[in-house]
Chain A
Amino acid sequence: MPSALSRRPLSVSAPAATSQRSAKDLQLGETGTICCLQDPEMALKLLEMGCVPGVRVRLSGRAPFGDPLMLVLGDEEYTLSLRKSEAATILLKD
């Protein structure tokens, strides 16, 4: 029964055309709102860590060589540290 299960039940992925800004493009101190997560596998990890679509993220710091990044999440003010390549999968709302 090749059925409904194979269909994506709820999309966290981005629409096809992506010239969208991602969390890695934030300026220091700038805040954005998560729109969607681009990479399905990475998305699972990000979701567990609290990067849910609709949550606000603020770039609060960069490591000395520009990577990894420090992102402050939501109003709860907890900080994640993640690589630039990982932040690039977090797309922001315009």
Chain B
Amino acid sequence: MAVTVSPSRPHDTITGTPETGSQLTRIALIGNPNSGKTSLFNQLTGLNQKVGNFPGVTVDRKSGFAQLSSTRRAEIVDLPGTYSLYPKSLDEKVITDLLYDRGSAGYPDFVVVTVDASNLRRSLLLFSQLADLELPAILALNMTDVAERHGISIDIQALEQELGVPIVPMNARKGIGVAALKIVMAERLATHPVRFWEPNDELLPLVRQIRYYFNLHNDYLALHYAQQYRSISFLSVDDRQHIAELVAQSGFDATAWQAAETIARYQRINEVLLEAVTVTRTEKREPISNRIDKVLTHRVGGYAIFLGILFLLFQTIFAWAQYPMDLIDQGISALSELIQSSFAGPLVRLLTEGVLAGLGGVLIFIPQIALLFAFLAVLEETGYMARVTFLMDKLMRPFGLSGKSVVPLISGLACAVPAIMGARTIESWKDRMITIFVTPLMSCSARIPVYTVLVALVVPDRAVWGFLNLRGVALMGLYLLGVVAALGSAWVLKTLLKARERSYFIMEFPVYKWPRWKNVGITIWQKVSAFVWQAGKVIVAISILLWVLASYGPGQRQDAAEARVRAAAPAVATAVPDTTASQELERRVASVRLENSYAGLFGRGIEPVIRPLGFDWKIGIALLTSFAAREVFVGTISTIYSVGQDADLGTVQEKLRAEKDADGQLFFTPARAFSLLVFYVFAMQCMSTLAVTYRETKSWKWPLGQLVYMTGLAYVAALVVFQVLK
């Protein structure tokens, strides 16, 4: 296959002045799912990316800057993968909203269309629609290596002639051809493609009325207005009403015309391919992917492998992540001790008990989040996720979910926030709502610290059956409990909700590939930094707030309580410092001060409600602060218990173990710990999740439903656990 960019061909210059060094070129990347668009985006922008939102909707807007040449930089916008300009899901609507409105701020100067060379016919469908919108374009002919293996040879020059745009053959995963593409982009060689299809005479009366009314630049765009006016967000109510009337008058059958258009496009594409593509079947043997599928989707082997992968996932985030986590934990403790032994004063206490405690609570997460997202990214990259969908569809359907719900649910193991956003790929409204509603029941990584601390506290570190760790088994049990709750709740919802439209399952099976570690790395980097900068800020802020709440009380309340304790103490304790008696006194003083602090009063207030669950006011404080984010629990108890104890700050677990009840017995009995664990499995304690559910459902009904339902479930379950076990 010849790699040429045919410099001889005269290219039209595109809109905008040629020497706009100051003005940034805006380029949109568009293509089918699995066409290598994300790989290309990563190649072009590297770590120079940011994830924002498209205006008005909640679809991620991934954009970044690319240095195209020494003098030219461009903003690249990565659009969601789509098969056509007729959106079938929320994600895809973003594309039409962006490309139909020439006046919009984000309107691209030109588009780069990624096309799968091994699957040209279907890939060109989208390209042909873009061509008819008269968008200047460059075609990135991706996966040329796969095409070659399939015996497909493409005459690039002939194809350029047919399509009328510059074509750059490439292999985006390996970075081959990216340099050439950058040159073509920098030189702004994008051209208006040759038109493929135009609305015919029958459609013209309707199309022209719309075109002139809205002053559109072409008939095809007007046809899209007629097809999609209900979902185009920038049209006003009056505009939509006007189109609706025109459409009704003409008796326009949208579905039939769309089908006719698509078939006509394929006919034209076939002609193009006849000119430019020759297929020489080397040998008729089964592709490797199909042979792998025979194993990975086997009726027994398929599930066994999936379960094995899940188990590996848990062992990874529990066992392997433990080493870096211990290091972080010990590092923070050591730093805290160092500061406390070197300096004195209230600011030092703020720094160690407030700031450092909170910071530790953030940093300790990084190993687990990184490993989990590495895992999910590899599964996605290799194409295995699609097989999981295939394997699980039939099993999920009885619960009102589809195979497509599996990916959001599994992502929910990392964090419900991106998982709920990931549910956007589910076209069916009902399936999507159910998936969103139950996803927070999957144990997210923010629960891991709570699980880890409490499990380690009451479950012995012992091996079972020689190779399993008892703590690992307990952890898996907690995860399974979340899964069962999610599925059960989905089943209930299935019977309550009515479907609004039909649901599709059809999807393409990506060919198995080795993961690109650069893509995996970028995913990890994005997730970890998002966590540190977004969740981390809240956690540190709340840690400081808590320290203040736990250190100060209303009026003279704390001092009065302290005076009472000191007055009642035996003389020995006050006279000689550094004896057992005096230490005991100091501990009692700290304890009553905390009891009479703002936080203590807060916890005391809710204690009657949570006492049946085995919780005291200290846990009450932690439950309330967890509402900002569950992981705050660990920071909170760490702060609360460091106030109540000696200054020799150990790890969180040491502090918990030192906690005694009124009779001097260990406070965290298995009954209490398991009750608390079960509460954390079920309870909705995450403002971010509620916020994202609101954004995704556009209604407060859903997040409020989650809050009431999950917290109620948690209360009842914890009550049962404590009353049975105690």
Residues of A within 8 A of B (CB): 1-10, 12, 37, 40-50, 52-53, 60-61, 63-68, 70, 72, 74-83, 86
- Are the C-beta atoms of B84 and A65 separated by less than 8 Å? no
Q: From B300, which residue of chain A is reached at the shortest CB distance?
A: A64
Give, as a whole number of angstroms, the nearest-CB distance from A79 to chain B. Answer: 4
- What per-residue 1/0 map shows which CB atoms of B517-554 lie under 8 Å from chain A? 00000000000000000000000000000000000000
Instruction: Give chain B interface residues in 132-173, CB to chain A under 8 Å.
Output: 150, 152
Residue pairs across A and B with Cβ atoms less than 8 A apart, 5 shown, are: A9-B253, A12-B259, A43-B259, A45-B88, A47-B262
- Are the C-beta atoms of A41 and B502 separated by less than 8 Å? yes
- Are the C-beta atoms of A68 and B390 separated by less than 8 Å? yes
State the CA gap A78–B202 with chains docked (Å).
Answer: 36
Give, as a whole number of angstroms, the nearest-CB distance from B318 to chain A. Answer: 29
Interface centre among B256, B257, B391, B395 (most CB of A within 10 A): B256
Give, as a whole number of angstroms, the nearest-CB distance from B284 to chain A. Answer: 10
Stretch of B363-371, B506-514, B599-607 with 4 or more beta carbons under 8 angstroms from chain A: B506-514
State the CA gap A6–B250 with chains docked (Å).
Answer: 8
- Are the C-beta atoms of B202 and A67 separated by less than 8 Å? no
Closest 10 CB pairs of A and B: A64-B299, A6-B251, A79-B509, A10-B260, A82-B506, A50-B122, A65-B394, A48-B83, A9-B260, A47-B262
- Are the C-beta atoms of B86 and A44 separated by less than 8 Å? yes
Give, as a whole number of angstroms, the nearest-CB distance from B200 to chain A. Answer: 8
State the CA gap A93–B206 with chains docked (Å).
Answer: 36
Chain A residues closer than 8 Å to B256, beta-carbon distance: 8-10, 40
- Are the C-beta atoms of B260 and A76 separated by less than 8 Å? no
- Are the C-beta atoms of B391 and A64 separated by less than 8 Å? yes
State the CA gap A66–B393 with chains docked (Å).
Answer: 11
State the CA gap A79–B383 with chains docked (Å).
Answer: 12
Chain A residues closer than 8 Å to B23, beta-carbon distance: none
B341 CB–A CB distance under 8 Å: no
Q: From A9, which residue of chain B is reached at the shortest CB distance?
A: B260
The count of residues in chain B whose C-beta lies closer than 8 Å to any C-beta of chain A is 59
Q: Given A45-B504, A64-B299, A81-B506, are A5 and B253 also a contact pair (CB < 8 Å)?
A: yes
Q: Given A63-B297, A77-B287, are A70 and B83 also a contact pair (CB < 8 Å)?
A: no
Give, as a whole number of angstroms, the nearest-CB distance from B599 to chain A. Answer: 53
- Are the C-beta atoms of A48 and B508 separated by less than 8 Å? no
Give, as a whole number of angstroms, the nearest-CB distance from B30 to chain A. Answer: 15
Chain B residues closer than 8 Å to A68, beta-carbon distance: 390, 393-394, 403, 505
Q: Given A79-B289, A83-B393, are A44 and B506 also a contact pair (CB < 8 Å)?
A: no
Instruction: Give chain B interface residues in 258-285, CB to chain A under 8 Å.
Output: 258-260, 262-264, 266, 279, 281
State the CA gap A63–B394 with chains docked (Å).
Answer: 8
Chain B residues closer than 8 Å to A77, beta-carbon distance: 150, 287
Extra A-B contacts (15), CB below 8 Å, given A1-B250, A63-B393, A64-B302: A10-B256, A45-B88, A48-B125, A60-B290, A61-B293, A64-B299, A66-B394, A68-B505, A76-B121, A76-B150, A78-B122, A79-B509, A80-B506, A80-B507, A86-B506
Give, as a whole number of angstroms, the nearest-CB distance from B36 to chain A. Answer: 14
- Are the C-beta atoms of A47 and B263 separated by less than 8 Å? yes
- Are the C-beta atoms of A5 and B250 separated by less than 8 Å? yes
Q: From B264, which residue of chain A is reached at the shortest CB distance?
A: A10
State the CA gap A44–B255 with chains docked (Å).
Answer: 7
The residue that B253 contacts in the complex, of A6, A81, A82, A83, with Cβ under 8 A, is A6
- What per-residue 1/0 map shows which CB atoms of B237-260 lie under 8 Å from chain A? 000000000000111110111111
Residues of B within 8 A of A (CB): 83-84, 86, 88, 118-119, 121-122, 125, 150, 152, 202-203, 205-206, 249-253, 255-260, 262-264, 266, 279, 281, 287, 289-290, 293-294, 297-300, 302-303, 386, 389-391, 393-395, 403, 502, 504-509, 511
State the CA gap A2–B125 with chains docked (Å).
Answer: 31
Q: From B118, which residue of chain A is reached at the shortest CB distance?
A: A76
Chain B residues closer than 8 Å to A70, beta-carbon distance: 293, 297, 390, 509
Chain B residues closer than 8 Å to A63, beta-carbon distance: 297, 390-391, 393-394
- Are the C-beta atoms of B119 and A78 separated by less than 8 Å? yes
Chain A residues closer than 8 Å to B386, beta-carbon distance: 81
Give, as a whole number of angstroms, the nearest-CB distance from A48 to chain B. Answer: 4
State the CA gap A48–B86 with chains docked (Å).
Answer: 9
Chain B residues closer than 8 Å to A40, beta-carbon distance: 255-256, 259
Interface centre among A50, A64, A66, A82 (most CB of B within 10 A): A64
Chain B residues closer than 8 Å to A61, beta-carbon distance: 290, 293-294, 297
State the CA gap A61–B295 with chains docked (Å).
Answer: 11
Q: Given A44-B86, A48-B125, are A10 and B259 also a contact pair (CB < 8 Å)?
A: yes
- Are the C-beta atoms of B250 and A44 separated by less than 8 Å? no
The residue that B83 contacts in the complex, of A8, A49, A82, with Cβ under 8 A, is A49
Q: From A72, which residue of chain B is reached at the shortest CB distance?
A: B290
State the CA gap A92–B255 with chains docked (Å).
Answer: 22
Q: Given A67-B393, A81-B390, are A44 and B508 also a contact pair (CB < 8 Å)?
A: no
Q: From A82, which residue of chain B is reached at the shortest CB distance?
A: B506
Chain A residues closer than 8 Å to B253, beta-carbon distance: 5-9
State the CA gap A52–B273 with chains docked (Å).
Answer: 16
Chain B residues closer than 8 Å to A75, beta-carbon distance: 279, 281
Q: From B501, which residue of chain A is reached at the shortest CB distance?
A: A41
The residue that A44 contacts in the complex, of B203, B259, B287, B299, with Cβ under 8 A, is B259
- Are the C-beta atoms of A3 and B250 separated by less than 8 Å? yes
Give, as a whole number of angstroms, the nearest-CB distance from B277 to chain A. Answer: 10
Q: From B502, which residue of chain A is reached at the shortest CB distance?
A: A41
- Are the C-beta atoms of B121 and A64 separated by less than 8 Å? no
Chain B residues closer than 8 Å to A49, beta-carbon distance: 83, 122, 506, 508
State the CA gap A40–B255 with chains docked (Å).
Answer: 7
State the CA gap A9–B261 with chains docked (Å).
Answer: 9
- Are the C-beta atoms of A44 and B258 separated by less than 8 Å? yes
Q: From B250, which residue of chain A is reached at the shortest CB distance?
A: A5
State the CA gap A74–B393 with chains docked (Å).
Answer: 25
State the CA gap A49–B262 with chains docked (Å).
Answer: 11
- Are the C-beta atoms of A52 and B266 separated by less than 8 Å? yes
State the CA gap A1–B250 with chains docked (Å).
Answer: 6
Interface centre among A49, A63, A75 (most CB of B within 10 A): A63
